[in-house]
Structure 1
């Protein structure tokens, strides 16, 4: 099949850390459309797989944001294809007569020596413990003077800017990590220091708490996710390690993949128009299951932009909030609001 310029759709598949794991692939137009491209690619920042039209210039941001951890990619142009996320220092080559595959080169980026002890290095930020009360999340940056580095740094700054806007929109809420505001004009933000760690590590390192505690935690999380929805925000990366345990309570963190809408946005319409919005529901099910069963589980909705098959998820028999978990995974909720109302 001949790939037409202005109609090409790209899928970016990001793997685990390592220079050889991620791969980029161009699908033929009809297959890509079947996988669900969307006109507004600005908001298609996803951990995992992203499908977007090349002819939309904003797809460049999507490609950059697809990168995992501290990796950066360079992709070359080929015949009939107009796409170059970063200037190629040494052009990659197209393979196959259908031009169906691209090679990528990866570069590991060493973080600047920010003050404080490094707690985590994520997709967008370098998180440092400054004192016992708060941490600072710094935008990741590449110190190179190249055009690649400039574009990379601008992208990370923009992602941090969106995360800051989301925290400011959410305000104070018992189920959201406390946001102390910007550190300075660098784009860094200050957040409460959750010394008990993320939920994934907490579950694996602690005995199952009482049923009453687990119910209280799940209830708190549902309240938090509904607050996010009501604030016209999509989280888009809900999973056990994006929830932390802080002073015996659960707090939702990490809005780096998030999406913020105008204050008057109709979120029910957002969930109708954008099937990927339902990734939040799938993630909520994984978090609720992990607390209820006291066993970490996470299904990657954005891997194939679909809900799990029955053989891909664990048994929920006898679990608290079983009905909600099952209905999420069966895609029976229209939005976070319907989930919240069902939990009342």
Structure 2
């Protein structure tokens, strides 16, 4: 069960003074509930058992996250890694079709099911935009669908290289310079990854088409 971790200061009289962050945490949980409701039944989403006033209850995935698996195991065959990449790209593309920006696209938020497919979690910083929203022009407090292309590409590189790689980029102006990214020359999807890092793809759909035509 996911519930907000609320904090408070104990005053001399024994009463509690809630911290200001509590209001944000509660609001974040409500937004996450809205996202799970919007994405209900979508392939690649962690199975949500229940959304209630108390929190969000998900299935337990005993294999842990892809980040955990990468830390302790040798890389599986390329076909398996490519399958994970396509699952991620398909899932994020489906999120965008539902007008959801995920935000926390990372290895730690990709759990491994018993059949070794990935299941996405952690939508605390996500937003479910109105269904008539044009993502091409949407700027959600400085965050856009193009930044999701960057973070998906970072996971693509991590799975391909079998080494965690991520950048802290919340706003468009924080996009790293081209020469700060690692080399991709030795990777099967290297040219596509490099193009994505260099702003070649504006949407996840464009990135997906490039991978599919590889």
**TM class, shorter-length:** 0.7 to 0.9
Of structures 1 and 2, the one scoring higher in RCO (CA 8 A, sep 6+) is 2
Correspondence for 2:65: 198
Distance, in Å, in 2 between the alignment partners of 1:280 and 1:296 is 17
Query: Unaligned stretches of 5+ in structure 1?
Result: 1-135
Distance 1:343 1:304, change over 3 A: closer
- Tell me the alpha carbon deviations over residues 127-182 of structure 1, each in whole angstroms, 9 at most, x when there is no partner: xxxxxxxxx11111114421x42x43222111001011101101112322111222
Distance, in Å, in 1 between the alignment partners of 2:142 and 2:26 is 27
Corresponding residue SS for 2:136 = helix
Correspondence for 2:151: 283
Correspondence for 1:316: 184
Correspondence for 1:214: 81
Question: Does residue 1:164 correspond to 2:26, yes or no?
Answer: no
- Alignment check: 8 A CA contact 1:240 1:298 kept: no
Query: Unaligned stretches of 5+ in structure 2?
Result: 10-15
- Tell me the alpha carbon deviations over residues 254-306 of structure 1, each in whole angstroms, 9 at most, x when there is no partner: 111112101111122226x8762132111101111111111111121138842
Corresponding residue SS for 1:237 = coil
- Tell me the alpha carbon deviations over residues 69-114 of structure 1, each in whole angstroms, 9 at most, x when there is no partner: xxxxxxxxxxxxxxxxxxxxxxxxxxxxxxxxxxxxxxxxxxxxxx
Distance, in Å, in 2 between the alignment partners of 1:321 and 1:225 is 18
Within 5 Å, which residues of 2 pair with 1:114-125? none
Distance, in Å, in 1 between the alignment partners of 2:137 and 2:178 is 28
Q: 1:232, CA displacement in angstroms? A: 0.1
TM-score (norm 2): 0.86
Correspondence for 1:140: 5
TM-score (norm 1): 0.55
Question: Does residue 1:189 correspond to 2:56, yes or no?
Answer: yes
Flag the structure with higher helix content.
2
Provide runs of 4+ in structure 1 moved above 3 Å. Answer: none
Cα RMSD between the aligned structures? 2.0
Aligned length: 204
Correspondence for 2:205: 337
Larger radius of gyration: 1
